[in-house]
Structure 1
């Protein structure tokens, strides 16, 4: 038998060690530390939506840990039993996972709940810096608003009678700040997963030209990520759903699994209403929409409500409870809402003319009333 040379043995050993190390790095390992008192509520949920994964961890001696597989960069979310039981709310927070390995996570409990952070992962550090900068600007915006409208103005925005002027001003300030910070962080980090994540999550604050320019700055590898592809799809959908464009025909199913086609409504003014069972403002708008429907249904006018619920049962129950007298359809995969109409928030309304061309969108309240009165006197 021939003896193995020293160099061959070293090569074999190196290969084995490298293979073993690589195999270990296929997973994401979470090593967590809790700072604060859980008050005996020691469960922390760890999950992600893309891909769909869910696990629970138990806090023991102020530490917790878990392991999950890694296929591609994604956001890993955490939610604590403490927040649910003590604060009465479910407040998930996440960190960006851009590669396999160990991530040390700190769950810090204070008077506002549990806050999660990690010093590991290059993408997470970029995102943490972006979030901190945005929080700083948001605090300054709220301070300016309080100075102008009074110390209770922010609290009033969440009441039944919000200060509409203050709400509009705050939204404009936040959109402007987001646009500036997104441009800054994406431009500086075009090769980071964080850039794709930040751009996709905050695209609503960017106009078409800025979004397209920032997308083009991303590296090919980042463009190929799920979030990069989502931005590409949004850019296409923005063109398709702009006022004056004619959306492509689509087919969805109604409550009894019958086909509903956009082309079925050619020849009528069509109000497309994107909503979901869990969307409070969507359902709060239905009573007035029923009044409008009764007023205009005999004047060449139709409404098509399209639910974006992922849960079909939840949609069916809500549709039955609302009992709206116009056609319903289900877009559980977002193929129409996202890819054709670029729906970013709910509710979102589009008004199409008899030829199928978009003539108005994002109509609410008096704006919708005024537009229908103008078209259908």
Structure 2
């Protein structure tokens, strides 16, 4: 009898445990109809993790435990083959539940995929579609005003200021209202906080950003995404030219704490980057030339990675083997102190700890604003890049990767 009771108790315990774990699961049920070109696999990815499933009769599924809000991208394997351009398509997973994704290959997931399920996922998908339409209108208007190649205008070009002014005005008129509508209608949704932590960093004045944050509920302002946006606002206040950089401490590759105060008395080029950022890693050869020119002259380069995957960071540090300081940003310093909106981003700090120059992106041909400042300070220019085959020469400065979904 005791044995029967014990077995019943174990069975009941197992059923309760199974029910509880089921409540904490994320299930993605998808359909992708159309020609897969013989490649039926589909990937579900974040920057640090990739899962895959087989599309059978146009259907596939994923399941995993919910741990915290996450944005996961779907990538059908057939897009790797042929000349099809892939536009990222993702799902905002803010809570456990079942998420339904329906799409067709003929129109592409980014354009036509339908997402059903928990509210935040549906709201974010709606925002994607509305904001995409707004951005398309902005792009067409800028092309009409400044020419079809308006987006290629470099910061050094005299026309850059006019293009930027037009773009800011159009975003105020067309793009920001899409965000405001989401926040006003759903102040307690994680979708709003997530949008601010990504797209919100790219647009608007400081005053407008503070207004947008105020539209979130107190609960969402305290969410991880809400705090990131709040940190970004504080970073804007901290990172202007002439601002004093307060001390911060981050871990190096050996897990030893490194204090920024240790660099007092030197000019410091702070470089924000990530292992997954191709432009960042393309910038390193030129940065090594900068380092070779000024090292030993009260100058130091200090690279700070925004990687969330520590192993990927450590591997990239080893592969690049750059001869300067490296740490991992596990304190969100990139936002709270510097308001970084894309990587690579660089800041030149004076010996007394003040910001004297900053840039987003880099020019592989040299001659950037920061290089000009260094030449002025040290009385010596960094040599021009060695001649290479014409087809290998970068045609234009490399833009930074926006931190829209980071």
Q: Offset at 1:360?
A: 2.6
* Residue aligning to 1:64: 60
Q: In structure 1, how many angstroms separate the alpha carbons of the residues matched to 2:357 and 2:268?
A: 11
Native 8 Å contact 1:83 1:114 kept in 2 = no
Trace 1:36-51 onto structure 2 (pairs within 5 A).
36-48=34-46
Q: Assess, with a 3 A threshold, how the Cα gap between structure 1 residues 362 and 60 changes in structure 2: closer, same or farther.
A: same
Q: Which of 192, 196, 201 is matched with 1:195 structurally?
A: 192
**Residue equivalent to 1:340:** 337
Secondary structure of the residue aligned to 1:337 is helix
What SS does the corresponding residue of 1:360 show, helix, strand or coil?
strand
Q: 1:227 maps to what in 2? A: 225
1:308 shift after superposition: 3.7
The one of 347, 351, 362 equivalent to 1:354 is 351
Q: In the TM superposition, what whole-angstrom CA distance separates every residue of 1:193-213 from its partner, at most 9, and x where no partner exists?
A: 111111111132233322223
Please report the TM-score for the alignment, with normalisation by the length of structure 1.
Answer: 0.76
In structure 1, C-alpha distance between the alignment counterparts of 2:320 and 2:68, rounded to whole Å: 37
Q: CA RMSD in A?
A: 3.9
Q: Which residue in 1 is equivalent to 2:241?
A: 243
Q: Residues 60 and 145 (structure 1 numbering): CA distance in 2 closer, same or farther, change over 3 Å? A: same
Matches for 1:122-201 after TM superposition, within 5 Å: 122-148=119-145, 153=149, 157=152, 165=160, 172=168, 176=172, 177-201=174-198
Aligned length: 351
- 2: CA distance between counterparts of 1:96 and 1:292? 41
In structure 2, the residue matched to 1:315 is 316
Match of 1:106 in 2: 102
CA distance in 2, matches of 1:203, 1:344: 10
1:242-278 deviation per Cα after TM superposition (whole angstroms, max 9, x unaligned): 4333223234455677764322221122221222344
Moved more, 237-246 or 265-274: 237-246
Residue aligning to 2:81? 85
**Gaps in structure 2 of 5+ consecutive residues:** 1-15, 380-406
Q: Quick one: distance in 1 between partners of 2:43 and 2:166?
A: 33
Displacement of 1:44: 1.8
1:328 maps to what in 2? 325
1:247 alignment partner, SS class: coil
Which residue in 1 is equivalent to 2:272?
Answer: 274
